[in-house]
Amino acid sequence: MALAQNSLATPAELAAWVLDARERSFELLADLTDEQLFGPRLPIVNPLIWEIGHAAWFQEKWVLRHVCREKAIRADGDALFDSIAIAHDTRWDLPLPSREETLAYTRQVRDRVVEKLQQGQPSEEMVYFVLYAIFHEDMHTEAFTYTRQTLQYPRPRLSNVPERAQAGVSHGRVTEKGPLEGAPAEDRPATGDAEIPCGEFLLGASPDDPFVFDNEKWGHRVDVQPFAMARTTVTQAEFRAFVDDGGYRRQELWSEHGWQWRQTEGAEQPVYWRQDSGGNWQRRHFDQWVPLEPHRPVIHVNWYEAEAYCRWAGRRLPTEAEWEIAAAAEPGPNGRGLSPHKRRFPWGNEPAAPERANLDWQALGCMDAGALPQSDSAFGCRQMIGNVWEWTSTTFLPYPGFVADPYKEYSEPCFSTRKVLRGGCWTTRARLLRNTCRNFYTPDRRDVWAGFRTCRLEK
């Protein structure tokens, strides 16, 4: 458990976040039928009606029962909503409560937590678990969103999202099909790589951070050789060139495991791409097919696809350490080496804002890879937070001296079997992110909001 007391949110701010997280959950599911909330049995999604119940149960378990020592609100809660104890493929077989009962339970938990926060200054333990439950729900609302994409449900309609996004106004101009077309040319950066010098760097979080997940602990020294990283993520146009050049059929471009995956899946292009009768490429955005957006990041590609693209392009994926250096480090004196100063966000220490990061569903889709120049890191890498999660070459492992936090199942069971992603995406909550955040998925997952950027191969 790690909290910096001098940076804690106030009880009122915490209560507002509790309400906001639950309201976003409600909004993401409100327009779906009972049948849609149950959904098909798939290994990459949960029944949405189960998942919102699970998010509330998690909050109740850790805040109300663990910290406040209260009795369970539902006697059957553990048997229904404990994701550790309930095998994934059995969640469709559970005697789940009705939609009305489930939502009533989630409101009851939410309201009880808010009441607790209004009773005076909460303890450090209380604050930690309230935050953990908020961030846990934020992760699930991101999952709700990619579940809607996976199941071809309509794009969500949300409050606190700019009207231009809801009405189909993109970054820079109005479109007929939503926020999907290209940004003005003046917003696009020059192509090329950011040259980043060698140096010593503190990889990971600091005890001064207000909240830290266990897999970020703690900052430790790493030595990195100079490298060159693409200033922007790989775009749809760039990935289309790989597809059109037969990239999915050329075994020499794929690792052994990657080729096995490609053959098993029969993959010939990214999962939500197709060609129309005229041979033009399209991409499915929720329930709508739209033309490829050449300047937008490629999204919904897995680690194997990213690796194969890199081999085709004569590039490579960055390591996790290289990604964090490009996002958080600053040049040393006279531009040599790395400064000991480390930024909380790529642009500095100021919180995320719409002009710096595409987060919080603000565009209801990706922006151009070259948009938001105010997002640039000290080395000129753009949109390292927001838009798309970015695959790295690094296998998810503990940092030196790792000790699991009270929710022991968050990180430890996933070590060695996942690849690290960094940066967040357009559905990630801004309050959840900083340069040290680590996400992790198995290398075959391409339903999630993931893209990538590349590094130059050194001769």
Same domain for 80 and 170, yes or no, is no
389 occurs within a structural domain? yes
Cβ-proximal residues to 111 (8 Å cutoff; 6+ apart), any chain: none
First-last CA distance in the chain: 44
Same domain for 70 and 205, yes or no, is no
255 occurs within a structural domain? no
For 191-203, what is each residue's pLDDT tens digit?
799 999 999 999 9
Predicted TM-score (pTM) of this structure? 0.94
Same domain for 396 and 336, yes or no, is yes
Residue ending a domain, among 150, 177, 193, is: 150
Residue ending a domain, among 125, 150, 175, is: 150
305 occurs within a structural domain? no
Cα separation of 203 and 424, whole Å? 18
Same domain for 427 and 371, yes or no, is yes
194 occurs within a structural domain? yes
Same domain for 210 and 146, yes or no, is no
The beta-strand segments (E) located in 351-401 are 389-395
Query: Could you tell me the residue range of the domain that residue 349 belongs to?
Result: 163-234+315-456
Same domain for 113 and 183, yes or no, is no
Same domain for 172 and 125, yes or no, is no
**How many C-beta atoms surround the C-beta of residue 314 within 10 A?**
9
Residue ending a domain, among 122, 150, 178, is: 150
- How confident is the model at residue 191, as a pLDDT? 73
295 occurs within a structural domain? no
253 occurs within a structural domain? no
For 74-110, what is each residue's pLDDT tens digit?
999 999 999 999 999 999 999 999 999 999 999 999 9
- How confident is the model at residue 186, as a pLDDT? 42
376 occurs within a structural domain? yes
- How confident is the model at residue 261, as a pLDDT? 98
- How confident is the model at residue 163, as a pLDDT? 57
Indicate the number of domains in the chain.
Answer: 2
**Which residue is listed with tokens 């569903």?**
361
Same domain for 209 and 93, yes or no, is no
Same domain for 327 and 438, yes or no, is yes
Token pair belonging to 130: 């309230």
- How confident is the model at residue 393, as a pLDDT? 98
Provide the 3-class DSSP secondary structure of residue 342: strand
Domain harbouring 50, CATH code:
1.20.120.450
Q: Which residues of the chain have pLDDT under 50?
A: 4-6, 167-186, 188, 190
- How confident is the model at residue 162, as a pLDDT? 73
Same domain for 117 and 183, yes or no, is no
- How confident is the model at residue 165, as a pLDDT? 61
Domain harbouring 172, CATH code:
3.90.1580.10
Cβ-proximal residues to 164 (8 Å cutoff; 6+ apart), any chain: 179
265 occurs within a structural domain? no
Q: Are 359 and 426 in contact (CB under 8 A)?
A: yes
- How confident is the model at residue 7, as a pLDDT? 52
Across the beta sheet with 273-275, what order do the strands follow?
A: 273-275, 281-285, 288-291
Same domain for 319 and 451, yes or no, is yes
Same domain for 14 and 86, yes or no, is yes
